[in-house]
Structure 1
Amino acid sequence: MKHYPSNLPLVDFFRFPQVGPALVLAVLLGAAACAKKPLESAAVPQPAGATVAAAPASTAPSFGLVGFAGENGGTTGGAGGRTVAATTLAELTEYAKSKEPLIITIAGTISGGTEGASVRVASNKTLLGVGKTGFLEGVGLTISDQRNIIVQNLRFTMSTVTNTKINDEKRPQVAVNDGDCITIQGASQNLWFDHCEFFNLDPVAQPNQDLYDGLIDAKGASAYITISWCYFHDHHKCHLIGNSDKDAGDRKVTFHHNYYSNITERVPVYRFGTGHVFNNYYKHVYGTGVNSRMGACLRVEQNYFEDTKNPITTKNSSVPGNWDAAGNLYVGCTGAQPTTSTCSFQPPYQYAAVLNETAKVKEIVVQGAGVGKL
């Protein structure tokens, strides 16, 4: 995938003596949620009843914060705190659990080895990869009863971990971090995951669906989350939002401009409450796409589904879920491909300026999602 630039404003580098100009631009973009640049969206139809106004057309995507993470007081991560560089697992662990606001930069690979590692992230943190090289290899993140966290421009995998346990389904599962790249639990709120890459192994070559669990999972009272411009690939189960049919709650998650490739299912599975899924590109999803369950109402809007089985559906719960479907494109798909809605949900935030025409989503997302694109 080629580099997809954005025209960023000049900044005063003397305010950040410990980092270089390129990193300062990334920090300002992620941690301070800098000014948004409109997308090519002036002529795109908006949802019925929307109060937002379309911005003038532009050729550059806006990478600013959009979605539920911008509500409830907003998400700024470690903005205002020190910028520190984590080069080892021990340094990352210490910085991440600190009580002070921090912008933690990661310029290379931090490995958990074959045993794997779990790092707990405390409130008011930004974890920021440098360029294309920030990589957490066998290191999962746990966010439990914390708030105001940004994870940006980092690569993740648990595929190097060989330490496993036998789970309730009698299958081997990575023991550390319950096999998740990122686990969100408790009453964690205001979290933004942006321009990251998550992967494990090709599901065809590695058939155990439980060996590696979720790429980003959220449960309990966690809420006000945005997952944007990320590249998820080569994995069985991507996002579990609500871990059981008894895990009631309104987690309020926005998924936008993500690239899902060679995934079996859960993009996402979503129980209870409301959510927003827009302008994502799905390619080779073999089981289910957006699976709404237990009365959830999801606004599923202007997504591009290609070679996907059951792009929008409700399965595997005693109570079905619902969708407010608008303007989705199905190319070479099979199974449930709804064009009508079973509920109605209008997100409370403005997003017209970043809502792309469905036909352009594939190109825009492939070029803009993942690391090294800021």
Structure 2
Amino acid sequence: MKRPLSLRLHAALATMAITAATGAVLSIPEASAATGSASGYATQNGGTTGGAGGATVRATTGTAIHAALCGRASSSTPITIEVQGTINHGNTTKVSGASCNTAAGVIELKEVSNVTIIGVGSGAVFDQLGIHLRDARNIIIQNVTIRNVKKSGSPTSNGGDAIGMERNVRNVWVDHTTLEASGGEAQGFDGLFDMKDNTQYVTLSYSILRNSGRGGLVGSSESDVSNSFITYHHNRYENIDSRTPLLRGGTAHMYNNHYVKLNESGINSRAGAKAKVDNNYFEDSKDVLGTFYTDAAGYWQVSGNIYDNVTWSSPGTENHPAGPDPKSNTTVSIPYAHSLDAAACVPNIVSRTAGAGKGLLVSDGRC
């Protein structure tokens, strides 16, 4: 007999306010936002704490977000930016300063470190506007919705990625976000959560990724294999054509995720990549695990997963599904502590906890 789902809130953090720019609010209630603690690979390599210990600013425009970054004493001075309302092209301009490197039409976290961006209350919305990390370290993004970011058509932002990371990015925790599009490449969209060019120690947790042709990639080509140490847990992937993720080289850990309507393929491990796939629930989907669209093999270790109405294509020269009876073909050692929920409980737990506006609720391990 199943016990009721039990949930807990992350501990709240007291905050103080400073003026950032137009769009910043001067007074912030105590305990208005909470970041909790990072999990997965984001806990390694020194950990991920974002702006902990620094000042807190509230911003209602993209320009104010950039101004908060530029107003710091240095590019590494810790800061928490609480975001309220809708951020879009109309309110996001370039701001200059010695501690930032920003651009119009995108939230630019470039050559910066020790930053938290967190939506207030039910969360902030980044409408057709992506978040771009480049040469960045120790970043937290939490409780935000990012929708309909385009790489073609109008307006465009961030190469069509909701969140994109590239070039020497380290220690990023993305948590309780909703990342969504309204179609695939033909409609002008690209990936929801992309990593390339030496991005490492990243965790995506308690998030919803939906209605997109591409969920996300790790590595932009078969030669871009320096990206590694990625954790995906307690996320819901829904109505995604492929790339949940596409993993080229490196190591990734996927546990307690709910995958629904993966239309063409799911976890695509290739070019020597290793995926540890534990206690996930795959539902109404096709080819949820394997090496696809290439003959450059990848590998996986599987345990405790449920395959509910999953279909598998026949093997071919560039099509190597792990099913219909997935077996491990490698071993992966995980360096961090984690607790696995039973796969049968995952749909219920994830539906109650994942996404922006859920009060930062997490599972306490009970079904």
TM-score normalised over the length of structure 2:
0.81
Amino acid in structure 1 at the alignment position of 2:105: A
Aligned equivalents of 1:135, 1:124: Cα separation in 2: 22
Partner of 1:359: 344
Partner of 2:49: 76
Amino acid in structure 2 at the alignment position of 1:78: G
Summarize the alignment of residues 340-355 of structure 1 with structure 2, pairs less than 5 Å apart.
340-352=327-339, 355=340
Partner of 1:312: 289
Amino acid in structure 2 at the alignment position of 1:89: G
Partner of 2:87: 110
Aligned equivalents of 2:264, 2:6: Cα separation in 1: 31
Partner of 2:120: 130
Partner of 1:6: 8
Q: Against the structure 1 CA distance between its residues 135 and 173, is the aligned structure 2 distance closer, same or farther, given a 3 Å change threshold?
A: closer
- Is the Cα contact below 8 Å between 1:279 and 1:303 reproduced in 2? yes
Question: Does residue 213 in structure 1 map to residue 190 in structure 2?
Answer: yes
Amino acid in structure 2 at the alignment position of 1:184: M
Aligned equivalents of 1:294, 1:143: Cα separation in 2: 24
SS of the residue corresponding to residue 314 of structure 1 reads strand
Q: Deviations over 1:207-251 (max 9, x none)?
A: 644711111100011100000000111111011110001112241
Larger % of strand: which? 2
Note the C-alpha offset of 1:133.
Answer: 3.6
Partner of 2:148: 158
Note the C-alpha offset of 1:20.
Answer: 2.0
- Is the Cα contact below 8 Å between 1:109 and 1:133 reproduced in 2? no
Amino acid in structure 2 at the alignment position of 1:358: A
- Is the Cα contact below 8 Å between 1:173 and 1:212 reproduced in 2? no
Question: Does residue 237 in structure 1 map to residue 214 in structure 2?
Answer: yes
Aligned pair partner of 2:157 in 176, 185, 191: 176
Q: Against the structure 1 CA distance between its residues 366 and 187, is the aligned structure 2 distance closer, same or farther, given a 3 Å change threshold?
A: same
Q: Against the structure 1 CA distance between its residues 340 and 5, is the aligned structure 2 distance closer, same or farther, given a 3 Å change threshold?
A: closer
Aligned equivalents of 2:10, 2:147: Cα separation in 1: 30
Amino acid in structure 2 at the alignment position of 1:299: K
Note the C-alpha offset of 1:102.
Answer: 0.8
Q: Against the structure 1 CA distance between its residues 84 and 370, is the aligned structure 2 distance closer, same or farther, given a 3 Å change threshold?
A: same
Question: Does residue 200 in structure 1 map to residue 181 in structure 2?
Answer: yes
Aligned equivalents of 2:203, 2:235: Cα separation in 1: 11
Q: Deviations over 1:126-151 (max 9, x none)?
A: 00001114111121111111100000
Amino acid in structure 1 at the alignment position of 2:106: S
- Is the Cα contact below 8 Å between 1:96 and 1:119 reproduced in 2? no
Aligned equivalents of 2:10, 2:180: Cα separation in 1: 29
Q: Deviations over 1:246-302 (max 9, x none)?
A: 112241100000011111110000000211011100111101110101011110111
SS of the residue corresponding to residue 231 of structure 2 reads strand
Aligned equivalents of 1:109, 1:117: Cα separation in 2: 14
Amino acid in structure 2 at the alignment position of 1:88: T
Q: Against the structure 1 CA distance between its residues 88 and 246, is the aligned structure 2 distance closer, same or farther, given a 3 Å change threshold?
A: same
- Is the Cα contact below 8 Å between 1:151 and 1:194 reproduced in 2? yes
Summarize the alignment of residues 284-323 of structure 1 with structure 2, pairs less than 5 Å apart.
284-323=261-300
Q: Against the structure 1 CA distance between its residues 210 and 243, is the aligned structure 2 distance closer, same or farther, given a 3 Å change threshold?
A: farther
Amino acid in structure 1 at the alignment position of 2:108: R
Q: Deviations over 1:279-330 (max 9, x none)?
A: 1001111011101010111101110000111011101233111100111100
Amino acid in structure 2 at the alignment position of 1:86: A
Q: Against the structure 1 CA distance between its residues 322 and 178, is the aligned structure 2 distance closer, same or farther, given a 3 Å change threshold?
A: same
Q: Which consecutive residues of structure 1, in runs of 5 or more, have no partner in the other structure?
A: 34-64, 166-171
SS of the residue corresponding to residue 221 of structure 2 reads coil
Aligned equivalents of 2:43, 2:118: Cα separation in 1: 19
Partner of 1:44: none
- Is the Cα contact below 8 Å between 2:206 and 2:353 reproduced in 1? yes
- Is the Cα contact below 8 Å between 2:236 and 2:258 reproduced in 1? yes
Note the C-alpha offset of 1:4.
Answer: 8.1
Aligned equivalents of 1:317, 1:282: Cα separation in 2: 23
Q: CA RMSD in A?
A: 2.3
Aligned pair partner of 1:23 in 32, 40, 47: 32
- Is the Cα contact below 8 Å between 2:16 and 2:55 reproduced in 1? no
Note the C-alpha offset of 1:7.
Answer: 4.7
- Identical amino acids, percent of aligned pairs: 34
Note the C-alpha offset of 1:8.
Answer: 5.3
Aligned pair partner of 1:277 in 243, 254, 263: 254
Q: Which consecutive residues of structure 2, in runs of 5 or more, have no partner in the other structure?
A: 18-26, 93-103, 313-320, 361-367
- Is the Cα contact below 8 Å between 2:129 and 2:147 reproduced in 1? yes
Aligned equivalents of 2:290, 2:154: Cα separation in 1: 27
Which range moved further: 215-224 or 96-105?
96-105
Partner of 2:245: 268
Q: Against the structure 1 CA distance between its residues 317 and 225, is the aligned structure 2 distance closer, same or farther, given a 3 Å change threshold?
A: same
Note the C-alpha offset of 1:181.
Answer: 1.1
Q: Against the structure 1 CA distance between its residues 6 and 219, is the aligned structure 2 distance closer, same or farther, given a 3 Å change threshold?
A: same
Q: Deviations over 1:19-56 (max 9, x none)?
A: 224514x24x2xxx2xxxxxxxxxxxxxxxxxxxxxxx
Q: Against the structure 1 CA distance between its residues 283 and 197, is the aligned structure 2 distance closer, same or farther, given a 3 Å change threshold?
A: same
Partner of 2:168: 187
